[in-house]
Amino acid sequence: MLTIAIACAAFCATLAGGLFALWLKDKLHLILGFSAGAVIAVAFFDLLPEAVELGGKFHSPDVLMSCAALGFLIYLALDRIQFFHAQRHHHRHDHDHDHEHDHGHHHVSAGHPAEHLLPNKLRGTLSAGSFSAHSFLDGVVIGLAFQASHTAGIIVTIGVLTHDFSDGINTMNVVLKNHGSRRDALRWLATDAIAPGLGMASTLFFTLPESTLGIFLAMFAGFFLYIGASDLIPESHHAHPKFLTTAMTITGAAVLYMAVRFAS
């Protein structure tokens, strides 16, 4: 029953983020700022302490911190692969457009709009698919956190829900900005919203030993640190480097800190 409730909450959070991206664009930087603080707080105040408590029986603190760093770098590498793949298609599109312009074939893009927009649409599809894959991984993180302890599961769930909200925003924006239709954007938004529940359900079919669980929790802390520091914070400050945005980030961290202390 709890799994179903969390899956429904994740679905609603992602869906709400996507709809906010359509309706409340001027306030998104404040929401993303709060989400950034919350996600980073989950890593520092819950995942890392839980990893040390569980994994400390089997591994030294150096090993566990190295696993956190490894998680950060793995997520960075995956993010860069997605970025460079999108950039390659973008540059190819620009090159083809310049080539047409040099030869005076302006009618090509007008006569074949689908071909002209294909690279951008593919870029949006790849990015949206990546967000859905990340959301599936978020669900796996929740499931494994509950294997560690009920408290860890609840706290990680709160952090993931804030991340899912921003994922919904990003999924909607990346499809629409790359010439996708609103129907395409809503379809990907629904896929992204369902993914966390599927990831959580997958953990019902396996259980990790305590020694391995500590390592995975440390790696997930690295994931969350990357998401907050390299994705949510820059996105929240983009074109809005204001005091209020920073205050929302600090507030997000403080709220999650209090939630962790209360749950403990």
Q: Is the four-CA dihedral 220, 163, 237, 89 of positive or negative sign? A: positive
The per-residue b/e assignment along 63-101, b for 16 or more CB within 10 angstroms, e otherwise, is ebbbbbeebbeebeebbeebeeebeebeeebeeeeeeee
The CA distance from 135 to 142, in Å, is 11
CA-closest candidate to residue 165, choices 12, 30, 55, 24? 12
Question: In which element (H, E) is residue 232 found?
Answer: none
- Band the pLDDT of 108: cuts 50, 70, 90: very low
- pLDDT(130) > 70: no
Is the pLDDT reported for residue 113 higher than 50? no
Tell me the C-alpha distance between 255 and 33, whole Å.
13
Instruction: Quote the pTM value.
Output: 0.62
In the structure, what pLDDT confidence band is assigned to residue 73 with cuts at 50, 70 and 90?
A: very high
- Confidence (pLDDT) at 136: 87
- Each residue of 136-153: pLDDT tens digit? 888 888 898 888 788 888
**pLDDT number for residue 25:** 62
* Arithmetic mean of pLDDT over the chain: 76
User: How much is the pLDDT for 117?
Assistant: 44
Distances in Å between the Cα of 9 and the Cα atoms of 147, 160, 193, 263 are 20, 10, 9, 19
Average pLDDT over residues 221-250: 79
Q: Residue 51: is its pLDDT beyond 80?
A: yes
pLDDT at residue 68 in the model = 94
Token pair recorded at residue 74: 């793995």
Structure tokens at 28: 């998104």
